Amino acid sequence: MITSKFLWLVLQQLRKIWVRVVSFAALAILTVVMARFLSGFIPSKWTDQVGAQAVDQVLSILASSMLAVTTFSLSIAVSAFAAAASSATPRATALLQEDTTTQNVLATFLGAFLFSLLGIIALKAGYYDEPGLLVLFIATGAVLVFVVAALLRWISHLMTFGRIEDTLNRVERAASRSVKNRMERPWMGGQPRVAPPRHDGVQINANEIGYVQYVDMKALSECAIELEAQIQLLVLPGSFAHDTRPILSIEGATPNEEQIKTLRNAISIGQQRSFDQDPRFGLIVLAEIASRALSPAVNDPGTAIDVIGRLVRVMSDWRSDAESEVIYPRVVVPSINVSDLVEDGFRPIARDGAALVEVQMRLQKGLTALKDLHPEGFSDPALEMSRYALERIDMVDLNDDERSVIRAVACYKETDKTEQTGV
């Protein structure tokens, strides 16, 4: 669990491909430069077999091939991103762009190209003596080994990269990781809100429009201690913020302009939602994939059925009775509503798959599984979603036998309605 906005921003940068590319390029430059300084450790009798011409030929081949391989690999990666956006959802492409294998392979190829290019320039400039040529030759051999290993790994990776199954696996892992992190700290280390926030506190509005991506609880706590006040967090990661919506409420003190700026900076707002602190976003992305699969243009109910199973697995880690150590007692945090989780994941499938018996049967069984796994948290939301799905099947063209089959396995029964009304 990341507790600092600075560390979170660093992590966001480390996930980008340019970090690995620059690192490999810097290593390539360092290797070329250090070859001359290491030449003093090479015995002169070892240099008889390696000359400038031999090294130049190998470096020329490496430079020409790596430029082509890098360009080709980059085009493959871009095609995989486009395929994931069209077959799954554009929200899933961010996970593919953060794929470490793809980033390492592209960085290796580009690093090898820069190494060979700089080596050729240094050779033509007469930078190396005879022992230095041997060091450069050994370094070139090591680079070739890395390139071959990267090629083999890249070929294996391309067998699944960007496919619908691979995309689903990535989204499920991201959603599951976010849910488990939230279960470790259900209120992100703050106090759970047990009553509606008071309206007599100083409310701070957002100064930009977008989605809350990250909340720096440590910064909020430090500011609350400085003010000797209590801070009510009014938004959670994933909430849509704008200039007229309060995001914080300060009770017990009045912050100055500098403190208000610090409090606003503790809440990161961006154009898109993030998986890190937002468990609902992963469920929404899974539901989007299922909805696209159920569209008439795609007509792939199997993917929707697969998504239902993944939703059950992800939500099974949720605990309504989870407890956590209060690290920031002066910060009060609202809870995530379990019914929102169920609606995020299952409502689009219930709506778009209403006319497909197999999808509706799997949906009802998935809701029943959630209800049985954690009745204290999912019982009422699962029953309500089951009832909604049954209402949807009455609006589509299904025969009585098909409706009967679905109702037979439904999570919601007529007896549930009787118990709720007391009739």
Position 423 scores a pLDDT of: 42
Position 401 scores a pLDDT of: 92
How many alpha carbons lie under 13 Å from residue 12 in its C-beta half-sphere?
14
- Positive or negative CA dihedral for 122, 126, 129, 131? positive
According to DSSP, the residues that pair with 240 across neighbouring strands are 211
- What Å distances lie between residue 20 and 16, 25, 206, 275, 293, CA to CA? 8, 8, 34, 22, 35
Tokens of 61: 């081949």
| 274 vs 214: CA distance, rounded Å | 8
Please provide the distance, in angstroms rounded to a whole number, between the alpha carbons at the two ends of the chain: 48
- What Å distances lie between residue 171 and 45, 91, 168, 276, 311, CA to CA? 58, 9, 5, 12, 11
How many residues in total does the chain contain? Answer: 423
Task: Let me know: does 126 contact 56? Beta carbons within 8 Å.
Answer: no
Position 417 scores a pLDDT of: 58
Position 199 scores a pLDDT of: 72
pLDDT by 10s per residue, the chain, length 423? 555 677 777 777 777 777 877 787 787 777 777 766 765 555 555 555 555 567 788 888 888 998 899 888 989 999 988 988 888 899 998 899 888 899 889 888 888 888 888 888 888 887 777 777 777 788 888 888 989 999 999 999 998 898 999 999 999 999 999 999 999 888 998 999 887 777 778 999 998 999 999 999 999 999 999 999 999 999 999 999 998 999 999 998 899 999 999 999 999 999 999 898 899 999 999 999 999 999 998 999 999 999 999 999 999 999 877 777 889 999 999 999 999 999 999 999 999 999 999 999 999 999 999 999 999 889 999 999 999 999 999 999 889 999 999 999 999 886 665 555 444
**Checking DSSP bridges between strand 267-270 and strand 246-251, what pairing results, if any?**
unpaired
- Tokens 């799997």 locate to 362
Number of H helices, E strands in the chain: 16, 8
- Positive or negative CA dihedral for 127, 133, 136, 141? positive
DSSP 122-170: HHHTT---HHHHHHHHHHHHHHHHHHHHHHHHHHHHHTTTTSHHHHHHH
Position 421 scores a pLDDT of: 47
- H-only helix segments in 328-374: 338-352, 357-373
Query: Which pTM value belongs to this model?
Result: 0.85
**Checking DSSP bridges between strand 230-233 and strand 202-205, what pairing results, if any?**
unpaired
Tokens of 88: 């799954």
Residue 65 CA from chain centroid, whole number = 34
Neighbours of 148 (CB within 10 A): 10
| 279 vs 97: CA distance, rounded Å | 20
